[in-house]
Amino acid sequence: MADHTGDANALVTSPDPNHPANRIADLCRLFYTLGWVTGTGGGVSIKHDNHIYLAPSGVQKERMEAFDMFVMDYTTKQYLRRPPVLKPSACTPLFMAAFTRRNAGCCIHTHSQWAVLVTLICEAGLQNPANFNSRNVFEIKEIEQIKGISRGGSGSDEIAEGGRKLGNLGYHDTMRIPIIENTAHEEDLRDTLEQAIEQWPETCAVLVRRHGVYVWGKDVAQAKTQAESLDYLFQLAVEMHKLGLKWT
């Protein structure tokens, strides 16, 4: 069985700052300063070839090191490396959903307060009281930052292919991010999160009510910049709401 022997350790040992194990530690430090992973919340996972790199559960994200990472075989779903003492993230099945259903290369989970507040404003129907459906989806349009979001979350930014639009959203498109209800245990979110991914082929993210958001991208750069653009839009939406302005 795979473990933390020398061979397994080689999976997380590299002088390259872009190696997935180093990159996750870096991202966690950055996300801590953004308030996304306060108090051990949130997480990041990178798919690299056939390996899934995962930050551990319940640790201080800004103090993480490459040596703390779990590594899973994408095909067999077996851990190739399990750091002693640490526990794998409860988000693992949720990250896997983005890898398998969207061919993502990186998935980010934050507890950003702006994400949580947006789900609360929707829940209470404060923006659009007449439309019950608005409780389960965050919609905004005609804000430049929307152009930072790709259709489906992990596509190229080219517009092409068959009858279906690809590439990033345009300024006049309405961005829609589905909201699913939270559950007592994080792993129990898997079914509804997978359903939301299927039901909303253009989304790059799923909001979880009173909890946070999952965002993915084809690689680290796209996942990270989409997470930033979304958080910008969530924050702007809350401020707009305070000023009495409508999102769409």
Query: Could you list the residues that contact its own copies (CB under 8 A)?
Result: 35, 38-41, 58-60, 111, 113, 116-117, 120-121, 124, 126, 142-145, 148, 157, 170-172, 182-184, 208, 210-212, 221, 224-229, 231-232, 235-236, 238-245
The residues assigned a catalytic role are 144
Cα–chain-centroid distance for residue 214? 3
Least CB distance to its own copies at residue 140 (A): 10
Residue 111 is labelled as binding a ligand: yes
Only one residue has tokens 């923006």, namely 127
Least CB distance to its own copies at residue 55 (A): 14
Least CB distance to its own copies at residue 10 (A): 26
Could you give the strand order of the β-sheet that contains 174-180, starting from the edge strand earlier in sequence? 79-81, 70-73, 51-54, 43-48, 106-110, 212-217, 205-208, 174-180, 137-141
Question: Position 231: which residue type?
Answer: D
Count of alpha carbons within 13 angstroms of residue 73, beta-carbon side:
10
Nearer to its own copies, 77 or 87 (CB): 87
Nearer to its own copies, 10 or 126 (CB): 126
Nearer to its own copies, 47 or 111 (CB): 111
Phi–psi pair at 14, nearest 5 degrees: -160, 145
Cα–chain-centroid distance for residue 130? 30
Residue 185 is labelled as binding a ligand: no
Which positions make up the binding site? 91, 109, 111, 211
